[in-house]
Chain A
Amino acid sequence: MNKHTKTKNSSGKGEGEITSVVNRRLFLRSAGLATSLGTIVIAAGCNDDDDDPMIPGTGDTVDLGSGDIGVLNYAYALEQLEAAFYTQVIQTPYNGITDAEKAILTDIRDHEIVHRDFFKAALGDKAIKGLTPNFAAIDFSKKEAVLGAAKLFEDTGVAAYNGAGKLIKDPNYLLLAGKIVSVEARHAAVIRDLINPKSADFAGDDIIDANGMDKAIAPADILMAVKGYVKDTITGANVGK
């Protein structure tokens, strides 16, 4: 059976861990955020439990939680996957990567790490644990494989934020999601333009509908779509509820 884990000071991986702890404390001290976040932390306090946060390995079940905290954890989960993906891309660049491509992918990596650590800090002890990605299906040595996966992650991220917007109750969180989703959309467009330069693919008919609209996809469907890329089992049945 899978073990349920709810992490307090979750053991995030990779760079920025220490600063993110510092920033989390800043968050908690900040009068500005305490008013908006504090209320929700108290409201969601019943989710708290005393499980050991350190469950190494895989096969964990991670519950994103409910209400706005659930939405933020949902975003945090997706940003963790994106950050881990681009970290790997830069650590093991694909064959024939150009300087321009590397600069773009490094920028995107940094944005995703900033998003990830921002959510982690904002969520504080409501944050889910650090997820264990599973990128076994991606051949990081091949440009097509890497950019293809990047396109999938970015388009999925855009659709996920678009679909989660109406689940958010606090307008401050809605605005934050809005500030991030357009950056994900910029990533998606640039990745798509790297794959097929000067084509219509940056906002291609393969994803944009006849009203000129991007996709908006509900959490359950997004979690199903990314299931193969994460070793933990993520449950999000109560996200936004």
Chain B
Amino acid sequence: MDIFKIIDQFQQIDGDAVGRIEYASRRHFMNRVGSKLASAAIPTAFAAIVNKAFAQSAAAVDVLNYALTLEYLEDEFYKAGNAAANLIPASDKTIFTQIGKHETQHVAFLVKALGSKAIAKPTFDFKYGGAFGDVFTNYKTFVTVSSALEDTGVRAYKGQAGALIADPQILEYALQVHSIEARHAAVARRLAATLLGNTAMKGWITGKEGAVAAIYAGEDNMTQGGVNLKGLASKSDAAITEAFDEPLTKEAVLAIAGPFIKK
């Protein structure tokens, strides 16, 4: 991202602006530019500068559109689930309304950030080619798919962090979404554990324990930083694998998500 150029352009528009910003460093200034994106009252000229900043990294555009694909998927999933009659019991409505709200917000943010580069929303098939045929009529299936989608989201965002290392502000946004997906996943997993009577399933991932096996491949990894942690702090293998969530590559995620996407 060419921060100097952005500041120069900004100064041409508003010569006093930089002086009015309390942070002295240009790095902080960039944070301010980023935070302005969230504001509804964003001036057009400012928005143009911010969009320029986003547009400068092709890698970031790719990652954001990949994220947008997954967020579209989640958003539409919860919209359908929350709208379905007699699916989500009253006791759990608040949880899924909150999750759905966040996914809608993520879509809106990404669409705004990408501007004209945003991909169109795909058409989805939440029955996953028949595997989840009763996803919007059977609450167990719905919660199972929810936990699987959220855990996939966590793995997907994590897998892209390295690709954003040259785009610090976008990296930070991605991390801020990543931890929300993890919060969602923890709650969905606990609901699924209760509904499925699976006491081994917790808010965190033990080994590769999860409702849809293919999604958890590699979560039982014991090697971190090149070293096998077996026996670390005299803790069990279960605790060690729970302590670290594992990433998935884009290819692996798209292979998992593929059957959800019709076109």
Interface of A is mostly: helix
Mark interface residues in B155-179 (1 if CB within 8 Å of A CB, else 0). Answer: 0011001100100110111011111
- Which of B38, B91, B183, B246 interacts with A185 by CB under 8 Å? B183
Mark interface residues in B77-116 (1 if CB within 8 Å of A CB, else 0). Answer: 0000000000000011011011101111110110000000
Which residue of B has the minimal Cβ distance to A106?
B239
- Smallest beta-carbon distance B72→chain A, Å: 14
- A202 and B161: CB pair below 8 A? no
- Smallest beta-carbon distance B131→chain A, Å: 26
In the complex, A208 Cα to B179 Cα: how many Å?
A: 10
- Which of B108, B227, B245 interacts with A23 by CB under 8 Å? B227
Quick one: which of B194-238 are within 8 Å of A by CB?
Answer: 202-204, 224-229, 231-236
The contact size tier of chain B is 35 or more
From known contacts A188-B183, A200-B95, A216-B172, infer whether A117 and B161 are also in contact, taking CB-CB under 8 Å: no
A67 close to chain B: CB less than 8 A: no
- Which of B38, B169, B224, B232 interacts with A19 by CB under 8 Å? B232
Which residue of B has the minimal Cβ distance to A179?
B244
- A178 and B38: CB pair below 8 A? no
- A189 and B186: CB pair below 8 A? yes
> Which A residues are CB-close (under 8 A) to B224?
118, 176, 179
- A174 and B165: CB pair below 8 A? yes
- B95 and A179: CB pair below 8 A? no
A183 close to chain B: CB less than 8 A: yes
- B183 and A118: CB pair below 8 A? no
> Which B residues are CB-close (under 8 A) to A189?
182-184, 186-187, 203
A224 close to chain B: CB less than 8 A: no
- B227 and A203: CB pair below 8 A? no
> Which A residues are CB-close (under 8 A) to B228?
26
Inter-chain contact total with CB atoms closer than 8 Å: 225
In the complex, A180 Cα to B225 Cα: how many Å?
A: 12
In the complex, A163 Cα to B169 Cα: how many Å?
A: 10
Interface of B is mostly: helix
A101 close to chain B: CB less than 8 A: no
Which residue of A has the minimal Cβ distance to B244?
A179
- B183 and A213: CB pair below 8 A? no
- A107 and B242: CB pair below 8 A? yes
B240 close to chain A: CB less than 8 A: yes
Mark interface residues in B41-77 (1 if CB within 8 Å of A CB, else 0). Answer: 0000000000000000000000000000000000000
B252 close to chain A: CB less than 8 A: no
From known contacts A113-B235, A114-B243, A171-B165, infer whether A212 and B183 are also in contact, taking CB-CB under 8 Å: no
* A residues at B contact (CB < 8 Å): 15-16, 19-20, 23, 26-27, 30-33, 36-37, 104, 107, 110-111, 113-118, 121-122, 158, 161-163, 165-166, 168-169, 171-172, 174-176, 178-190, 193, 198-200, 202-204, 208-216
A-B contact pairs, 6 of them (CB 8 A): A15-B234, A110-B239, A162-B172, A165-B175, A171-B162, A208-B102
